[in-house]
Amino acid sequence: MAGTDASKAGAPLAGPAIILVEPQLAENIGMAARAMGNFGLSDLRLVAPRDGWPQKSVHKKGAHQAASGASPILDAARVFPDLPSAIADLNVVYATTARERGQLKRVVGPEDAAADCIARTAAGQKAGILFGRERTGLTNDDVSLADAILTFPVNPAFASLNLAQAVLLVGYEWYRQATGGALPFAPVRDGLNAVPARREAVTSFFAFLEDELEAAGFYPPDKKPVMARNMRDIFHRLAMSEQDVRTLRGALVALVQGRRGGRNTPRPSRRAPATGDGGDGDA
């Protein structure tokens, strides 16, 4: 699977339990497990899944295929006969829903819910998040067992989320806050932080480039000083490293040699670029 590197797996983070209430499709359970794996969640609880658990034959195969590498989460999933037993050991429970339920409960977004889960975990408490049935979501009785409602800022005209999508949104926000939002990798070289090329290499490159452009008829009469300065500014904005200068010069040498029939010696260039008297003025 692209983007998966098992060698980077560390100690599991203590995140909230993901509780799927009466899930209907094996594939949705598998995709929810995959979403959990994406963001370091591991405690999957299933309340009375329609087709039972662990599943057999084609249903089991469908769940594990949809999990796409998150099979350990599926294998460790715990099954409960009802919701009260599934949340019995938790200190706080959030119920996800896209509909107003007429219950006097706190309503929070994923940012506040994630922050609360992290704080409670740090205090030695356990948190859980409820997700309802694919077709009908959580019942009002299910919601009544939760401490607060968790909802998302979605299009009110089309607010229904796929089960795995909802788990993904919750997992993303929890993991972002739990890890400080660190990205999984950095650029190979950040041009703003790389050691800039020595001025000698840069000015020599400019001189070579400007001589060859002049020989090719690139500059209109009396425009070379202004155009040369503009060209230099383009390269300065790249914050070129020594390797950048060597690569660019090598590419230009290859073009020049090709244009001249493959001669090995390019046109001799000045050691430093000429500045001119300004021509029509700075641009």
Q: 94 or 155: whose pLDDT is higher?
A: 94
Per-residue pLDDT reduced to its tens digit, 43-102: 999 999 988 877 665 566 778 888 877 888 898 999 999 999 999 999 999 999 988 878
What pLDDT, in 10s, does the model give residues 258-274?
877 655 555 555 555 54
Q: Which CATH class is domain 15-179?
A: alpha beta
Evaluate if residue 254 carries a pLDDT over 70. Answer: yes
Q: Which of 115, 118, 129, 101 is nearest to 45 (CA)?
A: 129
pLDDT at 278 > cutoff 50 = no
For residues 125-154, give the mean pLDDT: 93
Antiparallel, parallel or unpaired: β 44-47 and 106-108: unpaired
- What confidence score (pLDDT) does residue 7 get? 57
pLDDT tens sequence across 61-75: 778 888 877 888 898
DSSP strand pairing (127-131 vs 17-21)? parallel
pLDDT of residue 14: 83
Per-residue pLDDT at 9 exceeds 60 = no
| Interatomic CA distance for residues 249 and 252, integer angstroms | 5
8 A C-beta contact, residue 109 and residue 152: yes
CA nearest neighbour of 167 among 35, 67, 45, 60: 35
pLDDT score for 160: 82
Residue 97: which of 39, 128, 127, 140 has the closest Cα?
140
- The pLDDT confidence band at residue 283, using thresholds 50, 70 and 90, is very low
DSSP code string of 2-33: TT--GGG--SPP--PEEEEES---HHHHHHHH
Distance from C-alpha of 98 to C-alpha of 235, rounded to nearest angstrom: 52
- Spatial distance between the Cα atoms of 133 and 277, rounded to a whole number of angstroms: 77
User: Mean pLDDT of all residues in the chain?
Assistant: 84
Q: Which of 1-15, 36-50, 179-193 has the highest mean pLDDT?
A: 36-50
Alpha-helix runs per DSSP H in 123-182: 140-144, 163-179
Overall size of the chain counted in residues: 283
Residue that has been written with the tokens 């990798």 in this structure: 185
State pTM to two decimals. Answer: 0.69
The predicted pLDDT at position 159 comes to 81
CB 202 within 8 A of CB 246: no
Residue extents of the structural domains in the chain: 15-179, 186-283
Q: What are the CA-CA distances from residue 234 to residues 173, 206, 212, 229, 263 (Å)?
A: 40, 11, 17, 9, 29
Residue pointed to by tokens 């599934």: 86
* Cross-sheet strand order for the sheet of 127-131: 78-80, 44-47, 17-21, 127-131, 92-96, 148-150, 106-108
Kindly state the percentage of the chain with pLDDT values over 70: 82
Evaluate whether 185 touches 8 at the Cβ level (below 8 Å).
no
